[in-house]
Structure 1
Amino acid sequence: MELEKLFAQLHSLPSIPKVAQDLIQQFDNPSTSLDAVARNIALDPVIAVKILRLANSARFRGSRESTSIEDAAMRLGFNTLRTLVLASAVTGAFTAAPGFDLKGFWLHSFQVASVSRLLAKQQGMDADTAFTCGMMHNIGELLIQTGVPELAAKLNTPGARGAAGRAANEILQLGFGFPDVGAELARRWQLPVIIQQAIAFQNNPMQAPETNPLPKTVAQAVLISEVLGAHGGATDEAREALDSPLLEGVDLDKLFAALPAVLEADKAFEQLLS
């Protein structure tokens, strides 16, 4: 199957609200203000309701309830607000195919995003962009589920383990894997090229442009997330299992010291899925 044919079989291309597109395009704009973001959010009632609900959740709740987007924005802060808006917009763009665990899919995506952010901070990279790349790294999988549901059902059966194994199986069955589909969707969404590349080269980070380290960061985060899942979280066993050349240069002791608090804090994203 040609990649173009997959997109042609979709009844409509998943879309994200303009407010989210604007935020993505503002990644490299240092003059972006919290007030401007809040005004944009207020134009989208679905996202606005979710932001207010999260601002009043146990994680962020202050001495009084937030009743306006401006107040919620002040409480959450720019980085958290932007992350939540993007998470809400992207998760809202897709519907579940029959038999596919959409909530589990997004929880895994958020974990990869959280680990990507930690790795980026450790390596002096843009942590917010890394989080976005992690959150979107496997969006191509959702298009495969929607565009070729018959084949997707076969791909969903237990078999090849891990992201690389799944992508290889998809290439065998379809002629392309979820990184290819995700990168093409990111291109059609007009996301920054560095995000397109992070998605496209996540399984082959050494083939990515030397000027973009994000594919390797995402690849590292996916590997770490898979090990966390296999060993019940950030345990000593998980730490010992992470013996891979891909992680050369990563301070795993520092990473694992930070992981429990980060993973607990990011449970707020589960509220976006309920």
Structure 2
Amino acid sequence: MELNSLFDQLHSLPTIPKVAQDLILQFDNPNTSLDAVARNIALDPVIAAKVLRLANSARFRGAREASSVEDAASRLGFNTLRTLVLASAVTGAFKTNSGFDLKGFWLHSFKVASICRLLAKSRGVAAETAFTCGMMHNIGELLIQTGAPEIAARLNRMGSGDAAGRMALETLQLGFGYPEVGAELARRWQLPTVIQQAIALQTRPHQAPIEMPLPRLMAQAVLITEAIEQHPGDLEAVKNELDSPLCEGLDLDDLLAKLPEVLEADKAFEELLN
């Protein structure tokens, strides 16, 4: 199958609201103000409602209830807003058949995104761009589920315990894997080129030039997430699982010490998007 054929088989391309597209670009603009972001959020009732709901949740609620998007934006702050807008836009774009664990898919994506952000902060890479890449790292998988359902069902039955195995199965069956599909969707959504490239190169980070750290960072985040899911609550086993060339140079003790707090913080978003 040709990659374009997969997109041609979709009844309609999954879309994210124009407001959300504008917001994603706006968040990456260093001259953006919180007030300007709040005004754009107010244009989308779904995103605005989720922002208000989060601002009034137990985790963020102040002395009084936030009654406007401006109040909510001020309370949540720039980074939390960005995370919520992105997550709301991307998760709302997809519907798959009941044979695919969509909730589990997004929970895994949140974990990868959170770890991408943590890794980025430790090495001076744009943390929120890294979060976006992590959130969308396997978005191509959902396109395969919707655009090639019969092949996807066969792949689901065959199963695979890790991202590398899944990509190998997809490439064998389709001629391409989820990274190529995800990168093409990011291009059609007109997301920044750096995000397109990171998604495309995540399973072959050694091919990325040295000035492009995101593919390697994403590959590390996926490996760490898989180790956490394979050994829940057993950080020593997770550490042993990460004894690989891909993780050379990482301070694993420091990383694992920070992980519980990072993953706990993002549970609020997963709950809101159910």
TM range (shorter): over 0.9
Contact 2:110/2:270 (<8 A) preserved: no
Matched, 1:68 2:68: yes
Give me the whole-angstrom Cα distance separating, in 2, the residues matched to 1:98 and 1:149.
11
- Aligned equivalent of 1:138: 138
- Aligned equivalent of 1:18: 18
- The alpha-carbon deviation at position 200 of structure 1 amounts to 0.5
- Aligned equivalent of 2:58: 58
- Aligned equivalent of 1:201: 201
Mapping of residues 218-257 of structure 1, within 5 Å: 218-233=218-233, 235-257=235-257
Matched, 1:48 2:52: no
Give me the whole-angstrom Cα distance separating, in 1, the residues matched to 2:187 and 2:138.
14
Give me the whole-angstrom Cα distance separating, in 1, the residues matched to 2:206 and 2:233.
28
- Aligned equivalent of 2:82: 82
Contact 1:59/1:265 (<8 A) preserved: no
- The alpha-carbon deviation at position 234 of structure 1 amounts to 6.0
Q: Letter of the 1:114 partner, please give it.
A: S
Matched, 1:152 2:180: no
SS in 1 for 2:266: helix
- The alpha-carbon deviation at position 19 of structure 1 amounts to 2.2
Q: Letter of the 1:230 partner, please give it.
A: Q
SS in 1 for 2:32: coil
Give me the whole-angstrom Cα distance separating, in 2, the residues matched to 1:104 and 1:63.
35
- Structure 2 spans left out of the alignment, 5+ residues: none
Aligned CA distance change for structure 1 residues 27 and 263 (closer, same or farther; 3 Å)? same
Contact 1:140/1:185 (<8 A) preserved: yes
Give me the whole-angstrom Cα distance separating, in 2, the residues matched to 1:27 and 1:114.
17
- Structure 1 spans left out of the alignment, 5+ residues: none
Q: Letter of the 2:70 partner, please give it.
A: E
Contact 2:23/2:40 (<8 A) preserved: no
TM-score computed with the length of structure 2 as normaliser: 0.97
Give me the whole-angstrom Cα distance separating, in 2, the residues matched to 1:27 and 1:158.
40
Q: Letter of the 1:119 partner, please give it.
A: L
Contact 1:136/1:199 (<8 A) preserved: yes
SS in 2 for 1:14: coil
Contact 1:198/1:214 (<8 A) preserved: yes
Give me the whole-angstrom Cα distance separating, in 2, the residues matched to 1:159 and 1:42.
42
Give me the whole-angstrom Cα distance separating, in 2, the residues matched to 1:28 and 1:43.
19
* Higher mean displacement: 185-194 or 18-27: 18-27
- The alpha-carbon deviation at position 27 of structure 1 amounts to 4.4
Contact 1:54/1:271 (<8 A) preserved: no
TM-score computed with the length of structure 1 as normaliser: 0.97
- The alpha-carbon deviation at position 56 of structure 1 amounts to 1.2
- The alpha-carbon deviation at position 60 of structure 1 amounts to 1.3
Give me the whole-angstrom Cα distance separating, in 1, the residues matched to 2:233 and 2:224.
10
Matched, 1:124 2:102: no
Give me the whole-angstrom Cα distance separating, in 2, the residues matched to 1:233 and 1:187.
38
- The alpha-carbon deviation at position 96 of structure 1 amounts to 2.2
Alignment: residue pair count: 274
Q: Letter of the 1:14 partner, please give it.
A: P
SS in 2 for 1:156: helix
